Structure 1
Amino acid sequence: MSRALDQETAASLKKGNPLAAYQAIANVLTSTYDGLLELEILGKSHFFEDGQYVLQDGCAAGISKLGLVQAFMVARQYLKDHLDGVKSRPADEILATTAVILLFDPEFLTAANTRKRLIQAQISSCGDARSRLDKEKRFLDSLLTSRLHRHTKSPTLWSHRRWLMSMFASSNLPTDVLGDLRDIVFVAGERHPRNYYAWCHARFLMGLDKNVNFPEVLAAVRAWCFQHHTDTSGWSFLYFLLNTKDGSNVGVGVSTFTQVLNLVSSLRLANESVWVFLRTLAASRLVGDEQSSQLRAVQSAVLETVRTPADQAVLRAAVDWCETYRQHGSTHAAGV
């Protein structure tokens, strides 16, 4: 949500009950429903009765924008008083406070770091790492996958998730890499196309579990790229997979190249994202001269169907680039 407030909203802040707004929104964020929350910030075009700050149906919750601003003001003061030693509050209450703050502002680093300290302290005192980490994962993944534009690409939230998954690993708790890719990274990538932070997290996840089922991951990522063929970040991750130990053999590279090239040929795709992927793969050690020739043939066929100069330039540049770097035998300096 934007932190900019129009004059009408600013004037409305003087009315209402900020404490009631805080309690209502905090209750939603700390609820114990199964599954992830589907959160959305609703503006003045949505009707809220007096004293109502949340519209909820199961795990789906619409939060009043005005109510969230009021709740944030309360939560920020609670956190400040707690950190300054003015008034100490229980850990669960501060977790609720920081949840409200991060819903309003996902880049509030102090709130994220406070949650880290509280979670570590709770695990040290009670030893129930699984329950505490699962609860944090549910809250965090709800923010990252909801229709909250700033949250899905938030470097602070993705960094917090990286820390969280490291906590799972250090506690010897199993992680579902493929599930996280499908349910979190893919969804965040759809919510915010070319989501650099989400796909960086995907790379991190691949290094977290050495026993991950690589063929299943490769198939899932390839399918996502086919459905979002203009998303360069997805293609970049697919190329990353092909260059890992499990993917770096000619058979896997050729199979992937052929499938992508068939998609491009059948749909006459000319977008830069897919052609950057193809040119890089064609110039790499993962495919042979036959695939490079196939790329030129498909490029010529697609070139006959496109009319815009920009698309034509993309196609020509892809083949020129491929020929240049294949001759030099290296694509690492200018890869996807």
Structure 2
Amino acid sequence: MLYEAAPLVLKLFELIDQPPKTIEILPGDLEQWVSAELPLKSPQPSADFPFVFVEGNLGIPKKVLYTLYLTSVSVPRNADPHHAKAATCVTLLVNPAHQTALNTRKRLVLAGLLSPEKELEFTELLLRGPLDCAKQSVLWDHRRWCFGRLYDSLGAVNTQMPLPLLHGRYIPEELKLLPKIPQSVIRDEFRIIAHACQTYPRNYHAWNHRHFIVGICYALGGAINESSEEYWNILIEEHANLRRWIDLHVSDYSSMHSFGQTQKLIDHLVSSSFPCATESAISSLPSFSNHTLLLVTHYPSHESLWMFLRIALGQMPSHKRRLILEDMQASSTSNEAFRQTLRWFGYNNS
């Protein structure tokens, strides 16, 4: 059969299955790399090994990869597990949104022929590797599915008070199905998300995945158990990290929307007096509104920041919002975005 005549597909799969530290798709074909000067311990690219493998980092010439792709997509879905894993691995390197390949790998996981840990490892390589991978919604969804297979669900979270804000995104039945991901894995996941957002700016699907992880921290941070404080600490760390991210990416509205959602969850835990949630943890940071006002003052031409200010004002108590809006109304600023912000809240700056 066709897949039995494609040893290079299997060889590439074996390299990726190790796994390498990074994967990069290199320009050109094999001829451009056969004479490359590589470290002595690195295998020299050849017809039998058309890859660049240096210190655990894997480079695949683009034309070589596309040739292997044509072979891998021809492998039948009912192929033996080893060939199915190899073929779908190569397929997803070229087309990370290939739903048939992802579903084949799901079936392998369900059959116990592919571990969820290895699948998370593989998808991390994809998300950190080829540029197109980081923006694919189905790849992030596949990753969430793997978490659900690997970890027990939250079940009925035991808290002092209900968590209504999360119910705005998840109904109670869905909340119980969220995976109980360990703290160390959650920290790593935030790093993967940050890398994906840096690689592909304004990455809505990565930010949406981040909110999924934040929701787990929120639910477990409000729980009554010995690990709740650690999840609360992770939530606060990410709150600070996201604030710094916005300072450096003032056009990334997806990150600002995510910050507003995180701020809302933290405010709820603090105001509801959950055991682990204390105002001292965030008191050293500028307030949400002060932070956004500072940003729009320095970068008034960025519409995303004015939308960010609207989020901040909308989430604060009405009496505090009124004071800020009255100060804005009394100012001599003539910026149209400034005036639009006032109109959003019923103030006329004419």
- What is the CA–CA distance in structure 1 between the aligned matches of 2:347 and 2:67, rounded to whole Å? 59
> What is the CA distance between 1:166 and its match in structure 2?
1.7
Report the identity percentage: 24
Q: Quick check: 1:271 aligned with 2:302? A: yes
Q: Quick check: 1:30 aligned with 2:17? A: yes
1:160-171 maps to which residues of 2 (within 5 A)? 160-170=142-152
| RMSD of aligned residue pairs (Cα, Å) | 3.2
| Residue of structure 1 in register with 2:137 after alignment | 155
Q: Map Cα deviations across residues 304-331 of structure 1 (whole Å, 9 max, x no partner).
A: xxxxxxxx43343233324469xxxxxx
Q: Map Cα deviations across residues 255-279 of structure 1 (whole Å, 9 max, x no partner).
A: 12223333443x3443111221112
Relative to its length, the structure with more helix (as a share) is 1
SS at match of 1:32: coil
| Residue of structure 1 in register with 2:237 after alignment | 216
- What is the CA–CA distance in structure 2 between the aligned matches of 1:273 and 1:236, rounded to whole Å? 10
The one-letter code sitting in structure 1 at the alignment partner of 2:207 is W
TM-score, normalization: structure 1?
A: 0.72
Structure 2, unpaired ranges of 5+: 35-45, 154-179, 222-230, 272-278
The partner residue of 1:179 within 167, 174, 188 is: 188
- What is the CA–CA distance in structure 1 between the aligned matches of 2:292 and 2:268, rounded to whole Å? 16
Q: Map Cα deviations across residues 220-253 of structure 1 (whole Å, 9 max, x no partner).
A: 2112121212101000100111222655768769
- Residues 1:218 and 1:291: Cα distance change in structure 2 (over 3 Å): farther
Structure 1, unpaired ranges of 5+: 1-17, 124-128, 304-311, 326-336
| Residue of structure 2 in register with 1:48 after alignment | 33
| Residue of structure 1 in register with 2:117 after alignment | 134
1:113-262 maps to which residues of 2 (within 5 A)? 113-122=103-112, 132-146=115-129, 148-170=130-152, 174-175=182-183, 176-181=185-190, 183-209=191-217, 210-211=220-221, 212-213=231-232, 214-244=235-265, 246-247=267-268, 255-262=287-294
The partner residue of 1:103 within 81, 84, 93 is: 93
> What is the CA distance between 1:179 and its match in structure 2?
2.9
- What is the CA–CA distance in structure 2 between the aligned matches of 1:113 and 1:26, rounded to whole Å? 18
- What is the CA–CA distance in structure 2 between the aligned matches of 1:177 and 1:286, rounded to whole Å? 32
Q: Number of aligned pairs?
A: 279
Alignment check: 8 A CA contact 1:22 1:70 kept: no
| Residue of structure 2 in register with 1:307 after alignment | none
> What is the CA distance between 1:194 and its match in structure 2?
1.3
The one-letter code sitting in structure 1 at the alignment partner of 2:344 is W
The one-letter code sitting in structure 2 at the alignment partner of 1:165 is F
TM-score, normalization: structure 2?
A: 0.69
- What is the CA–CA distance in structure 1 between the aligned matches of 2:326 and 2:88, rounded to whole Å? 55
